[in-house]
Amino acid sequence: MITESEIQERVRQLGQQITNDMAGEIPVLVGILKGSVVFVADLMREIAGPVDLDFLAVSSYGQETKSTGVVKILKDLDNEVSGRHVIIVEDIVDSGLTLRYLNDYMAGRQPASVRTCTLLRRQGTQTADLEIDYVGFDIPPAFVIGYGLDARQRYRNLRYIAEYTGQ
């Protein structure tokens, strides 16, 4: 669906866009575990200047291939984000409910700003009214694997993104 070279180029572009938008600031990238690990690692290397990194672990899928719509925080931030410019980094936005929840959750910590970045936005599945600041790729409503995305904890290590057929 998306090749390794296409991903690398788009991540480079997103890093440049964030660099320009955050000029003079030190943003805190908040990677959403586990799926965003590969993306957030590559993204932070493409941002010129200092960045801080933290992680949240959330669950809205469980062992399913569709979001349950119920978001649970499994691991909270290690550092304070009050007064900081936060960028939530997701692997994929499906319904948008998780990202909307995370936006509200972060806003409660009184950051200077909260922005959102996702590698993938699944088209035709958003039920939440949500603006996403940085989008890598829009994809059709298929379940995908690779580049951090998994099916039952497998396939995260693929360097490309492919549709999962259950095989």
Phi-psi region of 54 (alpha: psi -120 to 50; beta: other; left: phi over 0): beta
Select from 75, 31, 36 the least CA-distant residue to 57: 75
Q: How far is CA 19 from CA 23, 44, 82, 122, in A?
A: 6, 10, 21, 25
Residue 106 near residue 77, CB atoms below 8 Å = no
| Residues with active-site annotation | 94
Strand partners, 90: 118
Burial environment of residue 113 by CB neighbours within 10 A (0 to 12, 13 to 18, 19 or more)? middle
Alpha-carbon span 136 to 104, nearest angstrom: 22
